Amino acid sequence: MLGVLRGMGITFKNFVTSYLFPRRADSLDTAGMVTVQYPEERLLEKERFRNFPFLIYDKTPDDLRCVACDICAKECPPKCIYIVREFDKDGKPLKRPAVFDIDLTVCMNCGICEEACPFDAIFMDHEFEIGGAERQQSLVYHKDQLLKPATYFAKIRPTDHATIEEKRRKEAEKKAAAAKQSSQGAAQTPPPPPPAVPPKSPQPNA
Amino acid sequence: MDSLFVNLKKGLLDFLSSFLPADFVMIASALVSIIAIAILGPFTMMYLTWFERKLISRIQNRIGPNRVGIFGLLQPLADGVKMLTKEDIVPDGADKVVHFLAPVVTVIPALLVFSVVPFGRNMAAVDLNVGFLFFIAVSATTTIAIFMGSWASRNKFSLLGGMRSVAQLVSYEVPMVLSAVPVILATGSLSTVSIVEAQSGWHGLKWFVFTPWGLVAFVIFYLCGVAECNRTPFDIPEGESEIVAGFHTEYSGMKFALWYMAEFMNVFTISGLTATLFLGGYQGPFLPSWVWFFTKTYALVFVMMWFRGTLPRLRVDQLMGLAWKFFLPFTLINLFVAGLWFFLPTRGLRVGVSLALLAVSFGFLVWVNKPFVPEKRMYEFAE
Amino acid sequence: MPIPLEHILIFSTLLFSIGLYGVLVRRNVIGILISIELILNAVNVNLIAFSRVHTLNPEMGQVFAIFVIALAALAATVGLAIVLALYRVKQTIYADEVNLLKW
Amino acid sequence: MLILASKLFIYAILFLSLVAALGVVMLPNLFHSALSLVATLIGIAALYLALQAEFIAVVQVLLYVGAVMTLIIFAIMLTHRIGDQTVPQKNQQSLPAFLALAAFVGMVSTLILQSNWPVSETVARVDALALGKALLGVYIFPFEIISVVLIAGLVGAVVIARKD
């Protein structure tokens, strides 16, 4: 019997204090109101918040990091990524996707494509207010809708951006050292046949 | 100020009688009070839902509806429109007639009871001399409505919910009526207006709740009232966790709104009647009579909603045990004590004897109903 | 008396005969019990109608009406208890299927 | 004018109760017939109100609609095979019963209409107070016996219905 009254006392105190000094609870464990008036005020998403994936390009939209290796399409559990490799004029495959579609109605924001991508080309976005009039056309995003600059990635996920840039810089140095060392080797020995990598693709594949 | 509404009605009737023959004026006076109740009923229901949502949200550290209207005051209108436009689904196995009739049959008693509640000095719509018994009889008919609702939806959950709620209603009606009998013993008449008039000593503060048997009867009547309108902590029938929504699972749209309206009107009428029986209805020192009535009723409604914000739901066996093994014997003892109260000569002796008797019986009943605690078992864990 | 006594008496005879018809005709035992309730109500209507007319001791009619209601409730309880026991044993509640005294 | 309206109203109540009573007998689905019995009971309670017997009207609604009907509906729910229309709800003797009862009603109603009933207009209204005094005054003996009978019936019903 006493427990009931004590419980009632607590809720009454809670009810009264919410009117007397209406504090805002900034985090969940401090007392006070937790309601956020959504459209006007917004809660800052945590950094690792995952929504639909997007593709990254470094400087211009057409030098994107993705090399159409199709690993993420294979890894994606609900199979919502569709990649078609680009061929240049005389039919030689290029390291660039001609078509890169993600069906947002199927994607479940799991982030497996982000982990599987060896070229750090695809990352999970923070922007979740996405709507479409009908399911098929407007919610299947094509390459141009998915492309976002690396600066945007740096803005929404600073720590991840830092680790990835540091990793890429180390790779670039190692590659530069390897390239320099192979060029010295080339100087003593007759030059080996030119590397298979076409000079046009800027990303040295690790 | 006290008889504001009475003069209003008299003025309206004088205006009408100028061009209506005598008979029609009588009909018109009945119509005026009917229209007043017909407006008051749904209006209280809408703003009780708003009041409950704001109260419970404040208890749970949230703000509650505040986007529609200034403090969310238009939220009930928004709910109403939503209920009206929602599609009304009737399960194909159900028999349409009874499925349609059930919500209607719940709302009729809920509205009928308004006619007996005395809102203010000579402001009771109908001064029946069997007023209180009329209230008990009409609230008994809601069992039939719940049966119709649960049987007609042909769905296991609603049938289960219907059975549970009828068992609960029937078993809580007995202590409810018995706990009100001492009040009728004290006033000598069943009519609610004379019950309120009997509490008018000490310039309006001689309420029954201040007598020992009155306090006990007040608590038991109020708790049985909470059980009667299926509200927490007695809301087994529409226990959301166990059976989806009890007897009104298969109802949507306007029919569900009718169930909802009947529940909230019951909340208002039961709090109103508890205030009439025990807290001296519209008796009060110097405020106008109807202000007293509405403050007392809304205080009791606040307590009912406060229960909803705090207490967990009772198990079915606890629910039934409480009604038959605790409330019923306690009301019988209380009836005996109230009878004794009127025959003991001196005031001190009266208060002393009744308080002692009630305390002893309360202790005995709590001790008898102590839940069975198995002896302490020691577990040795295998090394 | 708002309306003449004869009309109420005819109403109660009609009610009585409808109840009797139900008892005679219905196959379902609970249907028969319901019709018996109807007959008892017809009797009550007569009691109340006559109590309004004779001035000897007016409350006699209503007192006996209360007794009739109490006994009707009692009859309904015992009757339904028998129906449940019957249903549990014979799995049927149709009067004409219950024709063995001992089973 | 008002008296005429109240007379019409009472006749309407009588007619509706009769229709509901017919429903009790005629409806194949037992649950519907139980509900029409509820309608008849409420119609009869309204008739009692018209005859200024409020206490009996309210007791009738409370006891019959509140308690007896709950009992009957519980019984209906516990025994199945009531909903299906395939099982004929009426046995063969419906025609002879109907004719006999029609003759009975005709005879009794002509009897009622011919005999002159000693109607006295000035009758004291019996309100709850007078009824209470009578119940505990003149009729104290049957009042006590009723409680004994109710207890006996209660125990009997429990013993019969108990699943031993």
Tell me: pLDDT of A197 over 70: no
For chain B, which chains pass the contact test of at least 3 CB pairs under 8 Å? A, D
Those residues with Cβ within 8 angstroms of residue A93's Cβ, 6 or more apart along the chain or in another chain: A85, A86, A87
Low-confidence ranges of chain B (pLDDT < 50): none
- Chain C contact for D36 (CB, 8 A cutoff): no
- Chain C contact for D121 (CB, 8 A cutoff): yes
Which DSSP letter does residue A196 get? S
Cα of D88 to nearest chain C Cα, Å: 8
Among candidate residues B151, B133, B147, the one with its CA nearest the CA of residue B189? B133
Among candidate residues B270, B279, B284, the one with its CA nearest the CA of residue B214? B279
State CA A34 to chain mean position distance.
30
Contact B306 A4 (CB under 8 A): no
Evaluate whether B236 touches B224 at the Cβ level (below 8 Å).
no
Q: What is the C-alpha to C-alpha distance for residues B369 and B363, in angstroms, rounded to an integer? A: 10
Contact B58 A7 (CB under 8 A): no
pLDDT at A206: 44
For chain D, which chains pass the contact test of at least 3 CB pairs under 8 Å? B, C
Evaluate whether B252 touches B90 at the Cβ level (below 8 Å).
no
Note whether residue A65 is domain-resident.
Answer: yes
ipTM, two decimals, is: 0.78
Length of chain B: 383
pLDDT at A202: 47
What residues in B contact D1, CB-CB < 8 Å? 21, 23
Among candidate residues C84, B193, B302, the one with its CA nearest the CA of residue D74? C84
Burial of A189 (0-12, 13-18, 19+ CB in 10 A): exposed
H/E/C letters for each residue in C29-46?
A: HHHHHHHHHHHHHHHHHH
Evaluate whether A110 touches A81 at the Cβ level (below 8 Å).
no
- Chain C contact for D97 (CB, 8 A cutoff): yes
Tokens of B249: 């699972």
In B54-118, DSSP assigns E strands to none
Q: Which amino acid is at B169?
A: L
- Chain C contact for D95 (CB, 8 A cutoff): no
What residues in B contact A13, CB-CB < 8 Å? none
Classified as helix, coil or strand, B320 is helix
Contact B310 A34 (CB under 8 A): no
Domain ranges for chain D, please list them: 1-83, 127-164
Considering only alpha carbons, which residue of chain D is nearest residue B177?
Answer: D62
Mutation site, C10, C29, C30, C86, interface D, largest D CB count within 10 A = C30
pLDDT at A29: 63
Those residues with Cβ within 8 angstroms of residue B61's Cβ, 6 or more apart along the chain or in another chain: A14, A18, A25, A31, A32, A33, A34
- C-D contacts (CB, under 8 Å): 232
B121-B122-B128 Cα angle (round to 5): 125
Please, what's the b/e burial string for B46-58 (b: 16 or more CB within 10 A of its CB; e: otherwise)? Answer: bebbbbbbbbbbb
Compute the mean pLDDT over every residue in chain A, rounded to the nearest whole number.
81
Pairing of strands A81-87, A147-149: unpaired
Compute the mean pLDDT over every residue in chain C, rounded to the nearest whole number.
87
Evaluate whether A4 touches B303 at the Cβ level (below 8 Å).
no
Radius of gyration of chain B (CA): 23
Q: Which residues of chain B have a Cβ shorter than 8 Å from any chain D Cβ?
A: 21, 23, 26-27, 95, 97-98, 101, 128-130, 133-134, 136-138, 140-141, 143-144, 147-148, 151, 159, 163, 166, 170, 173, 189-190
pLDDT at A143: 87
- Chain C contact for D39 (CB, 8 A cutoff): no
Evaluate whether D60 touches D45 at the Cβ level (below 8 Å).
yes
Q: How far is CA B297 from CA B47, B99, B178, B309, C75, in A?
A: 14, 33, 22, 19, 41
- Chain A contact for B310 (CB, 8 A cutoff): yes
Contact D112 C27 (CB under 8 A): no
Q: What is the C-alpha to C-alpha distance for residues B202 and D32, in angstroms, rounded to an integer? A: 55
Q: Do the two chains C and B touch, given a threshold of 8 Å on CB pairs and at least 3 pairs?
A: no
Which DSSP letter does residue C96 get? G
Q: Taking residues D45-67, report their average pLDDT.
A: 89
Evaluate whether B230 touches B168 at the Cβ level (below 8 Å).
yes
Tell me: pLDDT of D145 over 90: yes
Out of D31, D65, D73, the one facing B140 most closely (by C-beta) is: D65
Those residues with Cβ within 8 angstroms of residue B193's Cβ, 6 or more apart along the chain or in another chain: B118, B122, B124, B127, B131
- Residue identified by tokens 């029946």 is B128
Evaluate whether B288 touches B1 at the Cβ level (below 8 Å).
yes
Contact D97 C94 (CB under 8 A): no
Mutation site, D2, D41, D72, interface C, largest C CB count within 10 A = D72
Backbone angles phi, psi at A185, to 5 degrees: -50, -45
- Chain D contact for C15 (CB, 8 A cutoff): yes
Q: Do the two chains D and A touch, given a threshold of 8 Å on CB pairs and at least 3 pairs?
A: no
Is the bond into B233 cis (omega within 30 degrees of 0)?
Answer: yes
Considering only alpha carbons, which residue of chain B is nearest residue A7?
Answer: B310
Cα of B184 to nearest chain D Cα, Å: 12
Q: What is the C-alpha to C-alpha distance for residues B351 and B177, in angstroms, rounded to an integer? A: 24
Q: How far is CA A98 from CA A54, A70, A137, in A?
A: 16, 12, 19
Measured on CA atoms in the order A160, A166, A168, A171, is the torsion positive or negative?
negative
Considering only alpha carbons, which residue of chain C is nearest residue D162?
Answer: C85
Q: How far is CA D44 from CA D16, D39, D50, D56, D136, in A?
A: 10, 9, 10, 10, 26
Evaluate whether D156 touches C81 at the Cβ level (below 8 Å).
yes
Contact B95 D127 (CB under 8 A): no
**Helix%, strand%, coil% for chain A, nearest 5:** 35, 15, 45
A79: left (phi over 0), alpha (psi -120 to 50) or beta: left
C-beta neighbour count of A80 within 10 angstroms:
19
Contact C59 D118 (CB under 8 A): no
**Interface list for A 35-74 with B (CB within 8 A):** 35
Is the domain spanning D1-83 CATH 3.30.450.40? The answer is no
* Domain extent for A60: 53-164
H/E/C letters for each residue in chain D?
A: CHHHHHHHHHHHHHHHHHHHHHHHHHCCCHHHHHHHHHHHHHHHHHHHHHCCCHHHHHHHHHHHHHHHHHHHHHHHHHCCCCCCCCCCCECCCHHHHHHHHHHHHHHHHHHHHHCCCCCCCCCCCCCHHHHHHHHHCCCHHHHHHHHHHHHHHHHHHHHHHCCC
Q: Do the two chains D and B touch, given a threshold of 8 Å on CB pairs and at least 3 pairs?
A: yes
Which DSSP letter does residue C97 get? G
Q: What is the C-alpha to C-alpha distance for residues B49 and B60, in angstroms, rounded to an integer? A: 17
Contact D55 B147 (CB under 8 A): no
Mutation site, A11, A20, A21, interface B, largest B CB count within 10 A = A11
Measured on CA atoms in the order A128, A129, A135, A137, is the torsion positive or negative?
negative
The number of distinct structural domains making up chain A is 1
* A105-140 pLDDT, tens digit each: 888 998 898 888 888 888 888 888 888 888 777 888
Contact C30 D82 (CB under 8 A): yes
* A25-57 pLDDT, tens digit each: 666 666 677 777 777 877 777 888 888 898 888
State CA B135 to chain mean position distance.
10
Share above pLDDT 70 across residues of chain B, in percent, rounded to a whole number: 97
What residues in B contact D65, CB-CB < 8 Å? 137, 140-141, 144
C-beta neighbour count of D24 within 10 angstroms:
25
pLDDT at B302: 92
Cα of B224 to nearest chain A Cα, Å: 17
Q: What is the C-alpha to C-alpha distance for residues A125 and A152, in angstroms, rounded to an integer? A: 10
Cα of D89 to nearest chain C Cα, Å: 5
pLDDT at D82: 52
Among candidate residues B360, B365, B361, B340, the one with its CA nearest the CA of residue B351? B340
Please, what's the b/e burial string for C37-62 (b: 16 or more CB within 10 A of its CB; e: otherwise)? Answer: bbbbbbbbbbbbbebbbeeeebbbbb
Q: What is the largest CA-CA distance in chain B?
A: 98
Cα of D21 to nearest chain B Cα, Å: 18
- Chain A contact for B311 (CB, 8 A cutoff): yes
Question: Which domains are seen in chain C, by residue range?
Answer: 5-92 (1.10.287.3510)
For chain C, which chains pass the contact test of at least 3 CB pairs under 8 Å? D
Pairing of strands A140-141, A147-149: unpaired
Contact D18 C81 (CB under 8 A): no
B286-B118-B207 Cα angle (round to 5): 55
What residues in B contact A11, CB-CB < 8 Å? 59, 306, 309-310
Contact B98 D70 (CB under 8 A): no
Cα of D80 to nearest chain C Cα, Å: 9
What residues in A contact B61, CB-CB < 8 Å? 14, 18, 25, 31-34
**Interface list for A 145-204 with B (CB within 8 A):** none
Q: What is the C-alpha to C-alpha distance for residues C97 and A59, in angstroms, rounded to an integer? A: 92
- Across A70-84, B218-232, D111-125, least confident range: D111-125
Pairing of strands A147-149, A53-57: parallel
Q: What is the C-alpha to C-alpha distance for residues C3 and A202, in angstroms, rounded to an integer? A: 107
